[in-house]
Structure 1
Amino acid sequence: MKGTAMDTKECFTIQVIHQPIHKREVLLHPSTIDRLEVDKKESIFILFGKTEGKVQLIASDSLDENTIGLNEALWKELRIPFPQLCLQVGWMKQSKQLRLGPILAVLTTVYKEGEAIFGNLTDYCKELALYCKKHCIFLYVFSLEDIGSDFINGYVNEHEQWVQKPLPFPDVVHNRIPTRSAENAQKSLLFFQRCRDESIPFFNDHFLNKWEVYEKLSPYEELKPYLPETVLLEDKATLEFLLAKHECLFLKPIHGSQGRKIFRVKKMNEWYELDYSTLNGEQRHQFSSYSSLVQNLKNRIQKRNFIIQQGLELLTYDGRPFDFRILCHRNDKGEWQVTSAVARVSEKEKFISNLARGGEQKKIDEVLARCMDVTKARQLLRFIYELSIETVTLLSREMDGLYGELGVDLALDQNMEPWILEVNSKPSKNMDLPSRPNTIRPSASTIVQYSLYLARFSHL
């Protein structure tokens, strides 16, 4: 079955019927039963997420065509959280399954105290919930600690509040576990294995690391011209060789994020220069010998795995280097598209543009207008979008697991040539914040659309 685009006309009201009907009976309008082409004597299965019950359909003229009535006992068995709920309804004729939902669940960290219950994902989850409600999709948010043996104590948005309810395992899981350590914990691995065993698709599969991304992309000839030379930092000879080849190098932790622990090394005429950022600001040291540089780096890097990446002379905005974050999503057809793009300008006298490190976010048009004419800027931006789509398409093809959202970091050198710096599988949700309250940004709506595609919901 193909993924189906959402349409509010497919919504049904699912409600408890307070009249004497058997637990295993479901009331529908006669015309709705006719559409299903089901023998009234034949049993079918009704599903809400991964919870199901065996029932018989009963025709009732007292219901309208878009209402389904359930006995209260069946309602509880299916773990439907409210006595009336608007949902999409799918019919799988071959397996005789009437599916209510679909259920999309976001896996992240839940903070028990404070207003931001899901940390910096709180506003994003609210947008997802708002969009899902408009399109009769059921959404909840949960953490690894909320998983039970046959249910999940998930959080549902009700009257602008997040309320915890015992809920079925979902149809699709959006993985937004915020740290690598939590994602690699035994509890996570067991949950993801259960998803595989029960055919519950989950995305984004795992955090990417910088070396893994380079290894997957570098064999593609069409991308090679846009990838800075990158190697694993294995010994001091590797660093020395590349310093003889490039005047500037960046050392980045393969599992790093938000611009942490990034070092810039430059070979000057008679000394070596080392720059790095700390919580107290940018630090710069000079060394008269290569051995003293290496010893200093060794003390700072310790046993962590790093890559060495070719340094680039980037275009600047007001004398500050900048790059782009291009956010890409899969849509309701499973195809990649650009959903948002911003420029990130580094703080004065700094070389890192990440917002977490003091970088400033600006509109791409505004930044490019300082560097080139409007026609050139439009052509270049169109190419950057195409390059980003090609990058995520090839990368998602090479990676294990499903990916529906990737952030591509690109930059322009002094010759206005684009370079692919990084690809992130858990991009920040502070990059494309909505301009007005209660608006839904494309990066939220497209996540829901891709989830519906994964749910394989075949509508009535």
Structure 2
Amino acid sequence: MKKNYPSPLIGILTSRKANGALAGNCPLFIELQKRLISLNGISFVFIPEEIEKDSIIGYQFSPDDKCWFKKRFRYPDLVYNRIPFQKSEQAESSQYLFSLLKERNIPFFNPCFIDKYELYLLLKNHDPLQQYLPQTILAKDQEKLFSFLKNFNVLYLKPRYSSKGKGIFRLSIKGPGRIELEGIKHKESFPSFKLFWKSWNKELLEKNYLAQEGIESEEYAGHRFDFRILAHAEEDDFVITGVGIRQSHKQGITTHIPAGGRLLPYHMLQTTEHDQFMQAIVPHVGKALSAKLGFFGEFSIDAGVSKTGRYYIYEVNSKPMSFDETEIEERKIEQLCRLFLQLTETQK
């Protein structure tokens, strides 16, 4: 096909929902299109199943008409991976597309969802980050899990591929032999660990749970809080785009807003020590991920600080959710478009 589009041409990769509609963060796609047009670029949204030998069927947003148009495009100069479902990303059609992009030397990011346990092992082997990791094991052996629980008294149980706080539980020893399991909307007690395991081992094994050391988090106004750090690649480094505070509110298990957490502006709790911690970890996390899994142009980090003042990295997300802070979302659009231009310029 003739190159008859502005440059760069950015392909935003997503998938379909069960009802056939396009999935993903539509407001983000629209804002990226608006900003790219102002930079003499353009973007389109597409799915792996609609690629052809020399062209791609895609969907382009028109700011003037305020609607989407289905069109045929040449292969893009860069692909921004926003497939929102792990199952879709692992599908044969997606994996074929990724191999095709590599063959055609078309840059793309981010390459994959992050397995929480693989992340732990990866960062644990990266010297500058070891000190910030809560101890973590797979929750697949009764004796090992019980020993781990006795060691820390409180654990967090998390599915290896979950996000937004889904499926997370807190497991605690509450007295001689008594075990308590608490979720966002679930609370259950067991007279022994053996009975807990009998009741829950199928769930833990089928959903590939891991167990993470329970950290006694610092609190503000009587509720624990975490940092949400948004980061992007810039030149040969990684920089902080924005930081938000998420605080537990209606329940104490997770600070995620969909699960009842609430937002606080970072400046309310900002300290020199917090800033230094974030500035220290972001480049190392980005470089560790990119060296092992493929280029990560964007990621977010869930981190926190304990009551003793020790900092922790809890999770890293390869497909960051939208931030409720408008100024962070605006900087995100700018950083992404800057990265698009940088990466496509180096391909010329």
Q: Is TM-score (shorter-chain normalized) higher than 0.5? A: yes
> 1:295 aligned to 2:198?
yes
* Structure with larger Rg: 1
> 1:425 aligned to 2:327?
no
Q: For residues 79 and 109 of structure 1, what CA distance do their matches in structure 2 show?
A: 26
Q: For residues 440 and 409 of structure 1, what CA distance do their matches in structure 2 show?
A: 17
Which residue number corresponds to residue 381 of structure 1? 274
Give the gaps of 5 or more residues in structure 1: 1-50, 52-77, 82-86, 88-100, 369-376
Shift of 1:400: 2.3
Q: How does 1:235-254 map to 2 (within 5 A)?
A: 235-254=141-160
Task: Note the alpha carbon deviations across 1:310-363, whole angstroms, 9 max, x for none.
Answer: 0011122332221111000012x2421000111111232331111221211221
Shift of 1:208: 0.6
What RMSD in Å do the two structures reach over aligned CA positions? 2.3
Report the AA paired with residue 168 of structure 2: I
Query: What is the aligned counterpart of 1:268 among 171, 174, 180?
Result: 174
Q: How does 1:97-108 map to 2 (within 5 A)?
A: 101-108=7-14
Q: For residues 390 and 199 of structure 1, what CA distance do their matches in structure 2 show?
A: 25
Q: For residues 252 and 110 of structure 1, what CA distance do their matches in structure 2 show?
A: 26
Q: For residues 192 and 119 of structure 1, what CA distance do their matches in structure 2 show?
A: 19
Shift of 1:220: 2.6
Equivalent residue of 2:186, what SS? strand
Shift of 1:248: 0.6
Equivalent residue of 2:299, what SS? strand
TM-score, structure 2 length as denominator? 0.92
Task: Note the alpha carbon deviations across 1:214-259, whole angstroms, 9 max, x for none.
Answer: 1111023322221101112230111111112101111111111111
> 1:352 aligned to 2:241?
no
Q: For residues 19 and 209 of structure 2, what CA distance do their matches in structure 1 show?
A: 36
Which residue number corresponds to residue 153 of structure 1? 57
Which residue number corresponds to residue 323 of structure 1? 226
Aligned identity (percent) is 27
- Structure 1 stretches of 4+ with a deviation exceeding 4 A read 110-114, 117-120
TM-score, structure 1 length as denominator? 0.70
> 1:453 aligned to 2:345?
no
Q: How does 1:281-292 map to 2 (within 5 A)?
A: 282-292=185-195
Query: What is the aligned counterpart of 2:239 among 315, 337, 359?
Result: 337
Which residue number corresponds to residue 408 of structure 1? 301
Contact persistence 1:410–1:421 (CA under 8 A): yes
Task: Note the alpha carbon deviations across 1:412-447, whole angstroms, 9 max, x for none.
Answer: 111222110001101102x14536xxx971112211
- Taking a change above 3 Å as real, the CA distance of residues 185 and 361 of structure 1, as seen in their structure-2 partners, is same
- Taking a change above 3 Å as real, the CA distance of residues 111 and 207 of structure 1, as seen in their structure-2 partners, is closer
Contact persistence 2:171–2:181 (CA under 8 A): yes
Which residue number corresponds to residue 47 of structure 1? none
Give the gaps of 5 or more residues in structure 2: none
Contact persistence 1:276–1:284 (CA under 8 A): yes
Which residue number corresponds to residue 139 of structure 1? 43
More helix by share: 2
Task: Note the alpha carbon deviations across 1:143-197, whole angstroms, 9 max, x for none.
Answer: 2233223211212222122211111010100000000000011111111111111
Shift of 1:299: 4.0
Report the AA paired with residue 248 of structure 2: S
Equivalent residue of 1:441, what SS? helix
Contact persistence 2:15–2:24 (CA under 8 A): no
Contact persistence 1:347–1:359 (CA under 8 A): yes
Question: What is the aligned residue count?
Answer: 345
Q: For residues 301 and 354 of structure 1, what CA distance do their matches in structure 2 show?
A: 22
